[in-house]
Amino acid sequence: MRFGHFDDSKREYVITQPDTPLPWINYLGCEAYFGIISNTAGGYSFYRDARLRRLTRYRYNNAPFDVGGRYLYLRDNDSGEFWSPSWQPTRTKLDKYECRHGMGYTTIGSSYGKIEAQTIYFVPLGETLEIWKFQVTNRRKQAARLSIFSSIEFCLWDAQDDATNFQRNFSTGQVEIVDEVIYHKTEYRERRNHFAWFACSEKLAGFDTQRDTFLGAYRSWDNPAAVERGKSFNSVAHGWAPHGSHHVKVNLKPGETREIIFVLGYHENPVDQKFDPPDSQTINKRTVKPVIAKYLDGKNVTAAFEGLRRYWDGLLGVYQVDSPDLHANRMVNIWNAYQCMATFNLSRSASFYESGIGRGLGFRDSNQDLLGFVHMVPSRARERILDIAATQLAGGGAFHQYQPLTKRGNNDIGSGFNDDPHWLTLGVATYIKETGDWSILDEPVQFENEPGSEQPLYEHLRRSFNYTLERIGPHGLPLIGRADWNDCLNLNCFSDTPGQSFQTTTNKDGRVAESVFIAGLFVLAGKELAAIAKKRGLNKEAERCLAEAAKMEKVVYRHGWDGAWFVRAYDDFGKPIGSKVCKEGKIFTESQGMCIMAGIGLKDGKAKRALASVNKHLATKHGIVLQQPAFSKYYIHMGEISSYPPGYKENAGIFCHYNPWIIISETMVGNGNRAFDYYTRINPSARENIGDRHRCEPYVFAQMIAGKDAPTHGEAKNSWLTGTAAWTYFTATQWILGIRTEFDGLRVDPVIPAKWKGFTVTRRFRGNTYVIEVRNPKGKQRGVKKLLVNGREIAGNVLPVRPPQSKPIPVEAVLEG
């Protein structure tokens, strides 16, 4: 069952009924100001940091699920009837409803009683504000006398404090109302120099800024007193819950359309110019007024919207594919790349499943997110790498998370996740392969944000590598620490206290529990670091890295191979996890993918053997589960992984993030059919028809799909903010389609289904545009035997870097197996 359809030519997903199984959301803004918007206009906005600079309030996990947002009410002033043109919150049955989520904007259109309404929500590039462009049309035969009420609930900035500290917060709220603008200035009188503003392009019939006056006692968003009676109260908030509501009256002739612009913005004043006059408590509005005036003008709004479209044309134009598979095309060309922008910006911090207060940006997460982002805006990737690296600890370890506003490591979560440092190496390697910008390695970067501690970025990578060498366990494998990529494999935690956080509680200083996964990651990162060192002329360093990697590989063969697959770890008692000797959790996916990606087992058939085991024990029609058999009870020496009921999350759920690792591994052994089959199983577009089972948005990946042990096998959860976005993008573009960035050029090495006759990729790379046509006349899965550039055959299958030229460069590749 479907709840809408793709409109690929417009790069939109069209939702045709408002009551989707879960709110289907989109992100507004892609730089500093962000909003989350659902298909019924629910959601919230923030500046940079969803915890520390929240503009509007949101109550998660509500009933109904999604209440509170950017609401507009329409009221027929003759009949007194009112409704929400975005369906929520009145949920009046609309005659027509359509939500279109696009690249950085959302349009919600509807019709009720022959009054048509359409709102376009978006954030102009370079601005810290969001626009709601509202149009209303009278399709009746008679004139319509209408009222429009806007409604947002302001958050008192720190979302955590806002949701808990009521004894203070019910007394601090302050606003100003001047002309058609509502200014929210709570705490501006003291240490803040920022405020929010909510403006309207029309003359107001009234306003409300006190939520409970607007709603009325014991009423809710579906029947606000002001809307019901058709007249604002002109309330001025003092304490309680500051709110923003404009009331506009319009009379429309038959066929007439009116456009009304609402703008919600964030603004900062210089600290010494906060007030006007200076000795008053009144906001100095001189700096914000030009911005307000600009965006209340329809011409500027149209221009800004066009600018946003062109921006996305440019970003998506870096990689476009025309393949025989509709779902792959759609994801690669549009939605997967778009999702990567959201994960780059927000890591795992703010969605409808991440409250924005719990987690800043993850060290490992942000590094992996670069995989799907670096080709779009390399300069921002560079800046991000340097920011992340500056939070690294001097000993090579990492703060697990950091706050985007302060860019500092988050002490509450701490460190000790022993995989973390290696992801920095992979992030940097990915960046250099895309850009050829070796200079990044010489950038002086602090450790732990300590001035004076600067070292070249390269030194950070060296310490990342050494970090593992200094933490080797009894079998010679890396110690796992708090956890590795699998945050829930807490082998040193031994938690027996209800409610204690597995992620933050004090752990044993474990010297026994080891991770085969980190061993694989170490080998992979070690090979990258060796290549980087060699480029820098540090041949000894390069040799050392390769020698250590080779040594680790041997250890993996000795203690990390279980006969038919790679072991996952050793616990605190030195017993294997993910081995045939275990009762539950005999085989895990992550160590298969990571070891094979590191090249372990490729030569002697172990990789193929491990992949056959994955196929036999772990692959389901909805994707590959994390392990089997699922843990049937809580094991204190395993930690959070066994806290989940079987089939969910890390306990044998289909945790989508590592599915691409298996897909890459399949391409590495030349199995294009299976690689693409696995890719399609988790591809949200390919799952659109089972929307009632999948339930999440069909245009973005979700973190998890319930595994075969769960009663709801196939049900997705936690959409949008997941490492799956970057990894599937990277996998589809670089390993399946096989147009792969390398330090010295662009490799053409597709591994595709045998039935594909070919495909074409247009790729911008280091100043040139390549139009690469791959032909597969003999029905092979891999093996470029001939590569023609500009009609001339070249040796090998790497397109060397060449001086930029204005004309696209035609490339032809033939698969001969």
Q: Which does 649 bind (CB under 5 to 8 A by kind): ligand BGC, ligand NOJ, none?
A: ligand BGC
Question: What's the closest the beta carbon of residue 574 comes to ligand NOJ, in angstroms?
Answer: 24
Among 49, 487, 562, 715, which residue interacts with ligand BGC (rule: CB under 6 A)?
A: 487
- 482 vs 608, which CB is nearer to ligand BGC? 482
- Alpha-carbon span 132 to 259, nearest angstrom: 10
Please choose which of ligand BGC, ligand NOJ, none residue 485 contacts, taking the beta carbon within 5 to 8 angstroms, the exact cut-off set by kind.
Answer: ligand NOJ
Question: Which is closer to ligand NOJ, CB of 82 or CB of 363?
Answer: 363
Residue (649 or 713) nearer to ligand BGC, CB: 649
Print the binding letters for residues 543-582 with ligand NOJ: x by CB under 6 A, - otherwise.
Answer: ----------------------------------------
Among candidate residues 486, 487, 508, 485, the one with its CA nearest the CA of residue 496: 508
Which of 420/650 has CB closer to ligand BGC? 650
Return d(Cα 27, Cα 555) in angstroms, integer.
Answer: 45
Q: Which is nearer to ligand NOJ, 362 or 473 (CB)?
A: 362
CA distance 409 to 389: 10
* The entry of ligand NOJ, ligand BGC, none that residue 503 binds, CB within 5 to 8 Å by partner kind: ligand BGC
What is d(CA 56, CA 45) in angstroms, rounded to the nearest whole number? 6
Other CB atoms within 10 Å distance of the CB of residue 192: 16
Smallest distance from the beta carbon of 644 to ligand NOJ, in angstroms? 11
Residue 150 binds: one of ligand BGC, ligand NOJ, none (C-beta under 5 to 8 A by kind): none
Task: Choose between 150 and 349: whose C-beta lies nearer to ligand BGC.
Answer: 349
Q: Which residue is nearest to ligand NOJ (CB)?
A: 487
Total interface residues for ligand BGC by CB under 6 A:
6
In the beta sheet, which residues pair with residue 478?
472
Q: Which is nearer to ligand BGC, 45 or 368 (CB)?
A: 368
Going from the C-alpha of 790 to that of each of 183, 282, 441, 662, 810, the distances in angstroms are: 60, 66, 34, 35, 5
User: In whole angstroms, how close is the CB of 650 to ligand NOJ at the nearest point?
Assistant: 6
Supply the minimum distance, in Å, between the C-beta of residue 623 and ligand BGC. 16
- Min separation Cβ 649 and ligand BGC, Å: 5
Residue of 274, 622, 649, 747 interacting with ligand BGC (CB under 6 A): 649
472 — phi, psi (to 5°)? -105, 140
Under DSSP, is residue 23 helix (H, G, I), strand (E, B) or coil? coil
Query: From CA 175, how far away is CA 236, in angstroms rounded?
Result: 7
Cβ proximity to ligand BGC: between 518 and 532 the closer is 518
Q: Which of residues 487-546 bind ligand NOJ (CB under 6 A)?
A: 487-488
- What does 248 bind: ligand BGC, ligand NOJ, none (CB cut-off 5 to 8 Å by kind)? none
Alpha helices in 446-538 (DSSP H): 457-469, 516-535
* Residues forming beta bridges with residue 409, ordered by sequence position: 402
Q: By CB under 6 A, how many residues form the interface with ligand NOJ?
A: 9
DSSP letters along 215-227, please?
A: H-TT--TTS-HHH
**Interaction pattern, residues 444-483, with ligand BGC; x per rule: CB under 6 A:** ----------------------------------------
Residues 476-495 touching ligand NOJ, rule: CB under 6 A, are 485-488
Q: In whole angstroms, what is the distance from residue 598 CA to residue 590 CA? A: 12
Sign of the CA dihedral with 177 first, then 182, 184, and 190 last: negative
Can you read off the two tokens belonging to residue 276? Answer: 């006007």
Q: What's the rounded Cα separation, in Å, for the pair 795 and 809?
A: 17
What are the residues whose beta carbons fall under 8 Å from the beta carbon of 796, sequence distance 6 or more?
787
Read off the tokens for 213: 């006056």
Q: How far is the CB of 721 from ligand NOJ (least distance, A)?
A: 8
Among 415, 503, 507, 797, binds ligand BGC (CB under 6 A): 503
CB of 446 to ligand NOJ, least distance (A): 24
364 binds, among ligand NOJ, ligand BGC, none (CB under 5 to 8 A by kind): ligand NOJ
Task: Judge contact between 29 and 123, C-beta under 8 A.
Answer: yes
Binds ligand BGC (CB under 6 A): choice among 66, 153, 650, 688: 650
> Hunting for tokens 């010489």 — which residue is that?
442
CB of 381 to ligand NOJ, least distance (A): 19
Residues 591-650 that bind ligand NOJ (CB under 6 A): 650
Cα separation of 664 and 589, whole Å? 13
Q: Which does 362 bind (CB under 5 to 8 A by kind): ligand BGC, ligand NOJ, none?
A: ligand NOJ
The smaller minimum CB distance to ligand BGC, of residues 173 and 660, is found at 660
C-beta separation of 317 from 376 below 8 A = no
Considering only 22, 103, 226, 488, the residue that binds ligand BGC (CB under 6 A) is 488
The maximal CA–CA distance of the chain, rounded, in angstroms, is: 85
Site for ligand BGC contains 606 (CB under 6 A): no
Contacts of 792 (CB under 8 A, 6+ apart): none
Q: Which one among 51, 348, 384, 606 touches ligand NOJ, defined by CB under 6 A?
A: 348
Q: Can you tell me the distance from the alpha carbon of 565 to that of 586, in angstroms, rounded to the nearest whole number?
A: 10
Beta carbon of residue 640, minimum distance to ligand BGC (angstroms, whole number): 6
In the complex, minimum distance from the CB of residue 488 to ligand BGC, in angstroms, rounded to a whole number: 5
Pairing of strands 257-268, 129-138: antiparallel
301: number of Cβ within 10 Å: 22
| Residue 53's binding partner out of ligand NOJ, ligand BGC, none, with CB under 5 to 8 Å set by partner kind | none
The Cα 661–Cα 680 span in angstroms is 14
Q: Which is nearer to ligand BGC, 130 or 487 (CB)?
A: 487
In the complex, the smallest distance separating the C-beta of residue 122 from ligand NOJ, rounded to whole angstroms, is 28
First to last CA, the chain: 40
Q: Give the helix/strand (H/E) hosting 143.
A: none
Alpha helix (H) residue ranges in 269-401: 289-295, 298-316, 326-330, 336-346, 363-369, 378-390
Task: Please count the CA atoms within 13 angstroms of the CA of 715 that sit on its side-chain side.
Answer: 12
Per-residue binding letters, 354-393, with ligand NOJ (x by CB under 6 A): --------x-xx----------------------------
553 vs 640, beta carbon nearer ligand BGC: 640
DSSP string of 648-667, one letter each residue = STTTTSEEGGGHHHHHHHHH
Residue 503 or 628: the one with the smaller Cβ distance to ligand BGC is 503
Q: Is residue 509 annotated as part of the catalytic site, yes or no?
A: no
| CA distances to 425, 491, 501 from 413, in Å | 22, 17, 10
Question: C-beta of 346: minimal distance to ligand NOJ in Å?
Answer: 12
CA distance 341 to 494: 38
Q: Which of 369, 487, 571, 572 is catalytic?
A: 487
Rg of the chain (C-alpha set): 28
Sign of torsion over alpha carbons 657, 658, 659, 660: positive
Cα–Cα distance for residue pair 543/530, rounded to 1 Å: 7
Residue with smaller CB distance to ligand BGC, 325 or 487: 487
Rounded to a whole number of angstroms, the minimum distance from the CB of residue 212 to ligand NOJ is 38
- Which entry of ligand BGC, ligand NOJ, none binds 33, CB below 5 to 8 A by partner kind? none
What residue 12 binds from ligand NOJ, ligand BGC, none (CB within 5 to 8 A, per partner kind)? none
Nearest CA among 85, 23, 40, 68 for reference residue 241: 68
Residues at the contact surface with ligand NOJ, assessed by CB under 6 A:
348, 362, 364-365, 485-488, 650
Residues with a known catalytic role: 487
Residues at the contact surface with ligand BGC, assessed by CB under 6 A:
487-488, 503, 640, 649-650
